[in-house]
Structure 1
Amino acid sequence: MNRRLVTILLAAFVVAALCSVLVYRLVGTRIAAAKPQPSTRVVAAARDIKIGTVLSAPDLTTIQIMGTAPKSAILDAKNAIGRGVTSSIYSGEPILDDRLAPMGSGGGLAATIKDGMRAIAVRVDQVVGVAGFVLPGMRVDVLISGVPPTTATSGGGGGNNTQVRTVLQNIEVLSAGTDIQKDAEGKPQQVQVVNLLVTPEQAQVLALASNETRIQLVLRNPLDTKVAPVEGTAMTNLFLDQNAPATKPKLTGRVAPRKKAADTFTVTVINGTTKTEDKFAAPGGKQ
């Protein structure tokens, strides 16, 4: 064999061996320097859990989370058993403490009521309950229509003085009928009662409105949380001629009376073909 070729092959082998040793040491150093990530075992849902469900042992499992666990994660199942779910939890999802009702508060609708808030039932008709698509989690405005007490007692013709007002805005719907779950397909359901999440002061307003007026719920975009003043309207405004010319503004205030002219009498003197007239003031007299 050619001596030159053997020398080249031997040199290539030595270079390859040195590179292999260098790469091995470099990778080994990186692996040794890398610290293992901490892991935590937390409580998770063993199945899909609906809102209002009281948790039991079969509903729970544990999963391993790499890295730092969420701050409100539950590490022991006994801290979750017997508590109501305030928002839906899906299978395999870690259960967080702030998504469960306090211990002893039970489940169902009561568990979904936030601190300082109240749930009040509002009776609705079929048009509102079905065609309005009022479902749990949606936001509505509350309108009332009726005859104001001052108008009704004055005998001004009740039906013609009907007025409508927006009394509450951006109110959350807790449940529609007996269902506190959102419909996955968005289909309306026939309901007679809608439960709204309100403050104690708003609950008093709705209590009066439900007894004395007719309530209408108006759906709004959940992203539109602005509460703006809304001017009410009356039945008579619906029949105004929008194309009528503007009327002349009426003067307001006290109008000064015209000064009355003084009474006078006239004396006509005829002298031949000459005719003259003289006027004389006559206080208290007539012309």
Structure 2
Amino acid sequence: MRMVFGLVLLVGLGLAGGAVMMAKNYISAYQNELANERAARAQVVPTVDVIVSERPLKYGEVLAKEDVRVVRWPENALPEGIFTDMSVLFPEGGDNRRFVLRAMEKDEAIMAIKVTEPGEDAGLTSRLERGMRAFAIRVDVASGVSGFLRPGDRVDVYWTGSVDRISDNARGDVTKLIEAGVKLIAVDQTAGGDLEEAVIARTVTVAVRPEQVAALAQAQTTGSLSLSLVGADDDTIAGGIEIDQRTLLGIETAQIEAQAEEEKVCTIRTRRGAEVVEIPIPCTN
């Protein structure tokens, strides 16, 4: 009997020791996993909710709630002017619609600079920077770069006209660069840059300073204007370009010097003793 009791006691002690070891291993593994998870969380970048476009958006469209969605965005890489609250982007009450001012692709962050204020129309005024004015230039297929102009492009403006009645040193028709790198903000009545094909415009609208408005108005009244498209990555500024007819054809102006006609002097000879003297008298012919 005592042997059986001792055997049971030994078995119980063995089972208890095994249970303790299993519990110790489990707790140790749990603590290791917990430490690994905490270390992983420490390396994760904090994020915030940001409102982005659900689909491609074009200039002039009305921005609706179904056109946007909320995504998680890294907190240390937030663009300036983003929206994080739907109630701010879509305020309640009245006509508080917002319009798209700049084309946006899918999943692009909605920014204040890309949409109008609530209830504001998407007009040209939103495209004019401080101190700039909008001015319309008449163009055709030749002067308008064959219809390949788009809002946002930059152009050089050339004036062609006659200077015969302006300068005493008349040179006929002259073509001169009067404005360089002017920005287009509209083509006809289209201010968005999403034109799918070439459009033969009748007018283009440029953003210029007030003094440039006066110069362009005078130039458009006294001659014809032509536009030259500037490359997207071209940062050079042209200047001092002027061509007249003689320069174009390579004709050099001959310098004719007027030679004064020699004045005629008439004389008569008379003898005074042994000396002969010439006395000037008025010429009769």
TM-score (norm 1): 0.67
Q: State percent identity of aligned pairs.
A: 23
Determine the structure 2 residue equivalent to 1:99: 114
One-letter amino acid of the structure 2 residue matched with residue 197 of structure 1 = A
Residues 148-159 of structure 1 aligned to structure 2 (within 5 Å):
148=163, 150-151=165-166
Superposed CA deviations along residues 150-170 of structure 1, whole A, max 9, x for unmatched, are 348x7x7xxx71111111110
Amino acid at match of 1:51: Y
- Between the aligned partners of 2:212 and 2:87, the Cα distance in structure 1 is 38
- 1:144 and 2:159 are equivalent in the alignment: yes
Q: Distance in 1 between matches of 2:87 and 2:143?
A: 43
- Report deviation, 1:117: 1.8
The answer as to whether partners of 1:44 and 1:61 remain within 8 angstroms in 2 is: yes
Post-superposition CA distance 1:127-162 (Å, at most 9, x none): 23462521222110011111237348x7x7xxx711
Matched length: 244
**2:53 is aligned with 1:42:** no
User: Among residues 215, 218, 237, which one is paired with 2:228 in the alignment?
Assistant: 218
Give secondary structure in 2 for the equivalent of 1:119. Answer: strand
1:39, distance to aligned residue in structure 2 (A): 1.9
Q: Give the unaligned 5+ runs of structure 2.
A: 1-26, 91-96
* Residue 88 of structure 2, aligned match among 79, 84, 97: 79
Distance 1:144 1:104, change over 3 A: farther
User: Match of 1:275?
Assistant: none
Q: 1:199/1:80 Cα in 2 relative to 1: closer, same or farther (>3 Å)?
A: farther
Q: Which residue of 2 aligns with 1:202?
A: 212
Is the CA contact 1:130–1:191 (under 8 Å) kept in the aligned structure 2?
no
The answer as to 2:164 corresponding to 1:164 is no
Contact 1:139 1:220 in 2 (8 A): yes
Give the secondary structure class of the aligned counterpart of 1:127. coil
Correspondence for 1:52: 60
- Tell me the distance in 2 between the aligned counterparts of 1:46 and 1:76: 16
- Aligned match of 1:31 in 34, 37, 41? 37
Tell me if 1:113 matches 2:128.
yes
Give the conservation status (yes or no) of the 8 Å contact 2:144–2:226. Answer: no
Q: Give the unaligned 5+ runs of structure 1.
A: 1-20, 268-277
How high is the TM-score relative to the length of structure 2? 0.67
